[in-house]
């Protein structure tokens, strides 16, 4: 998938072998990070899905939980912790994209 728009303005793409999801500016999605809930998910950030369970998806991005020598080969800084978004708050197409492309 290369720069394909997913429903509700989410964009998913693959950089080399690293899939990511970007969220629209002004989205109304809540996310969990560093022991608190926040809203909206930051826009113009390439969030990489790293873990999916029955209820949520964990993402990392530059400034959002990337360790220097991470196993995914993602370059960037740790900044704040990784981001958790509940599946019920995401469009089904985004969830399926993340399931198919989870690192």
Over residues 28-52, the pLDDT tens digits come to: 999 999 999 999 999 989 999 999 9
pLDDT of residue 17: 60
Laid out side by side, the sheet with 48-52 consists of 36-38, 31-33, 83-86, 56-60, 48-52
> What pTM was estimated for this model as a whole?
0.83
Do residues 48 and 74 lie in contact, with contact meaning Cβ atoms separated by under 8 Å? Answer: yes
Q: Is 81 exposed, middle or buried (0-12, 13-18, 19+ CB in 10 A)?
A: middle
* Better pLDDT: 96 or 6: 96
Non-local (6+) Cβ contacts of 16 within 8 A are: none
């Amino acid at each position: 998938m290369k720069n394909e728009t997913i429903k509700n303005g989410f964009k998913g793409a693959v950089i080399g072998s690293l899939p990511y999801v970007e969220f629209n500016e002004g989205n109304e999605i809540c996310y969990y990070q560093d022991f608190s809930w926040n809203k909206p998910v930051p826009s113009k950030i390439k969030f990489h899905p790293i873990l999916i369970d029955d209820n949520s998806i964990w993402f990392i991005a530059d400034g959002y939980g990337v360790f220097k020598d991470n196993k995914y080969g993602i370059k960037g800084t740790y900044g704040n912790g990784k981001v958790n978004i509940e599946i019920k708050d995401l469009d089904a197409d985004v969830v399926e994209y993340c399931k198919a492309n989870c690192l």
